[in-house]
Amino acid sequence: MKICKTVKEVKKEIKKWKAEGDTIGLVPTMGWLHEGHLSLIKNAKKGSDKVVVSIFVNPMQFGPGEDYDSYPRDLKRDAKLCDKKGVDLIFAPEVDEMYPDGFCSYVDMNGLTGELCGKSRPIHFRGVQTVVNKLFNIVEPNNAYFGEKDAQQLAVIKRMVKDLNMNVKITGCPIIREDDGLAKSSRNSYLTPEERALAPIIHQALDLGKDMLKKGERNPQKVIDAISEKILSVGVTKIDYVSIVDALSLKPVDKIESDILCACAVYMGNSARLIDNFSFEV
């Protein structure tokens, strides 16, 4: 497995593979890899001849006061995991390599980003779109793999690829969870033992909401209230949002009449903001 730090090195390797007729699968990550990331790698191995994992904590997608500085980083540890899973190349650039002096071009969109995480993280998706675009241009993947855990991100990337006629097939992969239901996340490492013990309430509350929908509840506010109440009942004090939005437009709905996404972001203690979601087909 190769570890490349520069765009030039990656492009050289990609050119060689393309000349040999290999297809390329890209798994973009911010590192501190866990089973969620590894499941994307597994999917990539199935669908492509060569698998590239990018590891880059992208400053452009963090707002002021967010956890850019404290985000966990350990390339050695991540490289071992990737090697074990048969990854062919890791692209782990420094910030200067991705955003050299004078950098001033961005990719952005007008829809899909106004609700959910976009409300409290107004510059987040511009940063995500820009870095993913750059990664696509550098790696030229046939396939790219994203987790359904970041459902809004997945919708944004799919839309961007469609709108801008990009030649990449996007595959969404299911959420991987701990045994107690907590969605795996690099940010779970911020949790104190007490917060970790409370955190599965997020998934339990979403499950309660899903049950209500299965039993026929079609008033989104009732479902949102029940989920919020359950999360707050264990002593969690700050919910960023619990929302039910149309699965395609990601706009809030008054009545649940077509497929929806139910998503939430919850603060556990001071440092960890955890997200989770489920989709429901009507």
Active site residues: 37
Nearer to ligand AMP, 31 or 220 (CB): 31
Name the DSSP class of 184: P
Residue with smallest beta-carbon separation from ligand AMP: 147
Nearer to ligand AMP, 130 or 256 (CB): 130
Residue 173 within binding range of ligand AMP, rule CB under 6 A: yes
Residue 186 within binding range of ligand AMP, rule CB under 6 A: yes
Residue 190 within binding range of ligand AMP, rule CB under 6 A: no
Torsion of CA 69, 129, 143, 116, to 10 degrees: 80
Q: Taking a C-beta distance cutoff of 8 angstroms, is the pair 82, 90 a contact? A: yes
Q: Taking a C-beta distance cutoff of 8 angstroms, is the pair 249, 112 a contact? A: yes
Measured from the CB of residue 130, what is the shortest distance to ligand AMP in angstroms? 14
Residues 6 or more apart in contact with residue 163 via CB below 8 angstroms: 109
3-state secondary structure of 37: helix
Residue 36 within binding range of ligand AMP, rule CB under 6 A: yes
How many chain residues are in contact with ligand AMP, going by CB under 6 A?
Answer: 17
Measured from the CB of residue 15, what is the shortest distance to ligand AMP in angstroms? 26
Tokens representing 112 are: 């899909």
Residue 124 within binding range of ligand AMP, rule CB under 6 A: no
Angle at 213 between CA 207 and CA 218, to 5 degrees: 145
Nearer to ligand AMP, 256 or 261 (CB): 261
Q: What's the distance, CA 276 to chain centroid?
A: 10
Cross-strand pairs, 28: 54
Q: What binding mask, one character per residue, do residues 126-165 give for ligand AMP by CB under 6 A, x or -?
A: --------------------xx-xx---------------
3-state secondary structure of 22: coil
Measured from the CB of residue 58, what is the shortest distance to ligand AMP in angstroms? 8
Measured from the CB of residue 40, what is the shortest distance to ligand AMP in angstroms? 5
CA atoms in the 13 A half-sphere facing the CB of 240:
21
Name the DSSP class of 174: P
- Other Cβ atoms within 10 Å of 182 Cβ, number: 21
Residue 29 within binding range of ligand AMP, rule CB under 6 A: yes
Residue 184 within binding range of ligand AMP, rule CB under 6 A: yes
Which of residues 183, 198, 201, 274 is near ligand AMP by CB under 6 A? Answer: 183
Tokens representing 26 are: 């890209």
Binding residues vs ligand AMP (CB under 6 A): 29-30, 36-37, 39-40, 146-147, 149-150, 173, 175-176, 183-186
